[in-house]
Chain A
Amino acid sequence: MTEGTENLVDSAASADAASRRATVWEQLVRNPSVMFGAIVLGLMVLMALCAPLLDTMDPSSIDPAWRNKNPGVEHLKTFSDGTEREWTYRMGTDTLGRDTYSRVIYGARVSLAVGIVVAVLSLAIGLVIGLVSGYIRWLDTIVMRVMDGLMAIPGILLAIALVSLADAGLVTVILAITIPEIPRVVRLVRSIVLSIREEPYVEAAISVGTRVPLILIRHVLPNTIAPLIVQGTYICASAILVEAILSFLGVGIPPETPTWGNIMAEGRLLFRVYPHNIMFPGIFLAITVLAVNMLGDGLRDTLDPRMRKRL
């Protein structure tokens, strides 16, 4: 093929891709599930980023005189910078007298960060392993054995066990949640690679002597993007839940850090008297996960109609 025709084919392909992208975009905007998920999630992210501006106080500031207050209690509070101001505990306080409202708002930061980082990390690692093992046969057998083994361990259990191996902290928790998610991504990517490598255009690329890394990047990778975005949202939702579960069980991020799971773990003991410490973070957690799941469902229906049947 001469350079001229190659360019021609390339530009035709990209024009086609551009028009398809436009319709996909329109479809996404029209999908109520996507819009609901995206808006709620966007609001949560905004809330997490703007936490200091939302009339919050230091989420770790302890006030022994105002422990276990019900939502709506007001009092004249002296802040650490010496100012005095009428303060309403919108969501009450916990057993150490910390403001639950501020903790819930700041807690969004950890939950969302964990969800997003775990999704990106497991997609990236799974993508690389899946691409390589789908293309290199002898490696495939070994990799898939390892993945089968990992998948035979129930996810939450594996995450709980993994956090016990290192010091509790954000990084440990993220890694512990990421590792059980990887095999599913690897399987997904591998199955795509296996079907794409039989396509005529890949055969054509091989026949003109294109090297394997280039085939993977140019022909296989683009086909994985849509399913991976969908998978990524589901991983994000499950990661947010698992982080909360780990914190709730007391094996996750250290209790000083406000996370939704930690606030609930703290509220467990006095739940019968003061349910607000479990209810408020619980509501935020459920709404966030719901938004991410709905975003995922909507994305799946528009980007990857074939997956619809799979569940």
Chain B
Amino acid sequence: MFGFIIQRLLATIPVLGMVAVFVFLMLRLTPGDPAAVLAGDNGSPEQVAEIRESLGLNEPLVVQLGIWIGNILQGDFGQSYFFKKDVAELILLRVEPTLALATTTLIFTIMVAVPIGVIAAYKHGTWIDRAVMAFSVAGFSIPVFVLGYILIYLFAMQIDLFPVQGYKSITDGFWPFLHRLILPSITLSVIYIALIARITRASVLEVLGEDYIRTAYAKGLTPNAVLLKHALRNAAVPIVTVIGIGIALLIGGVVVTESVYNIPGLGRLTVDAVLGRDYPTIQAIIMVFSFVYVMINLLVDLTYSLLDPRIRY
């Protein structure tokens, strides 16, 4: 097991290295001199040359890539062109709202998607099944921001249940924090619920056809026990896999949801950085999100043996 963890960890290195190369090339392929941007409109040629030297921009491309990756490993993502701050600092300031939104969304999604997926599989072919499937197709088709505005319109404007927009840190109290996260989390979770309900239904349905399910019923177990202990347990691996893969959807959705609900997180920072052509910040955000994505999927791989003891490494 330990050997497997090490092996999987090592396997992420080339992937993240590849991401780093893309992200690095993206910046270098764009027109414009980063040193000139940092020096500002009134920068003298000498200042620009000095900044070029200090950023190592006179070195060959491969050396620059090496320096850049070395800096990232030390947590140094460079200076933001737009905010004139350390990018690492900028990102740290914005992590909390995004993490809060993603976590509440993930919890809500799993709480809703897995049960409705199981029920749909159990009631296969009935109207419940069809309703869940219809919801899942619709969930894939409604754009996150349209859904966000519909929910704001209904639950924040027509019925005054939730605040329209904004974010409160958890340090300002738990209820104000949660109250402002409910609508964004529901918005963000719909596409994710659609995905996971679908895969839950499909994999539970497959397991329900197995002989041991018939045996479980035959020895007099209640449907609940059969579904939870026998069916869901055996269907868990594909479900957890898709939860991991779906993190990409979640990250994409965060960018949009934060813009709709005015949440000052990493998603908003992404949009601001793109609008301001703030390349160091864009690079850092992509690196951070990709790192998180790869690591979560690594974790998912590692849970396989917990979920299914037959899987040994």
Contacts and interface: CB of A to CB of B under 8 A. Distances in A.
Nearest to A241: B143
B140 interface: yes
A282 B149 contact: yes
Interface stretch (A13-21, A44-52, A66-74, A152-160): A152-160
Contact of B255 (A148, A150, A156): A156
Interface string A241-257: 10011001111000000
A293 B138 CA distance: 9
A237 interface: yes
A205 B137 CA distance: 43
Given A161-B286, A237-B141, A289-B141, A153 B149 contact: no
A150 B22 contact: yes
Interface size range on B against A:
35 or more
A215 B293 CA distance: 38
Interface stretch (B47-55, B65-73, B269-277, B305-313): B269-277
A119 B254 CA distance: 25
Given A157-B286, A245-B144, A248-B256, A149 B274 contact: no
Contact of A311 (B144, B202, B286): B202
B146 A153 contact: no
A146 interface: yes
Contacts of A271: 149, 152-153
Contacts of B202: 309, 311
Main secondary structure of the interface of B (DSSP, over half): helix
Contact of B146 (A156, A272, A286, A311): A286
Interface in B111-160: 137-138, 140-146, 149-150, 152-153, 157
A297 B282 CA distance: 35
A75 B140 CA distance: 39
Contacts of A286: 141-143, 146
B14 interface: yes
Contacts of B149: 271, 275, 278-279, 282
Interface in B270-297: 270-271, 273-275, 277, 279, 282, 285-286, 289-290, 293-294
9 contacts: A148-B18, A154-B247, A157-B252, A164-B282, A165-B29, A241-B143, A248-B145, A272-B157, A311-B242
Given A153-B289, A154-B247, 13 more contacts: A145-B14, A149-B21, A157-B252, A157-B255, A158-B286, A164-B282, A251-B271, A264-B145, A279-B149, A289-B140, A289-B143, A293-B140, A309-B202
Closest 9 CB pairs of A and B: A149-B18, A156-B252, A282-B146, A290-B141, A289-B141, A154-B248, A154-B251, A164-B274, A152-B290
Interface of B: 14-19, 21-22, 26, 29-30, 137-138, 140-146, 149-150, 152-153, 157, 164, 198-199, 202, 206, 242, 247-249, 251-253, 255-256, 259, 270-271, 273-275, 277, 279, 282, 285-286, 289-290, 293-294
Interface of A: 145-146, 148-150, 152-158, 160-165, 237, 241, 244-245, 248-251, 264, 271-272, 275, 278-279, 282, 285-287, 289-290, 293-294, 297, 309, 311
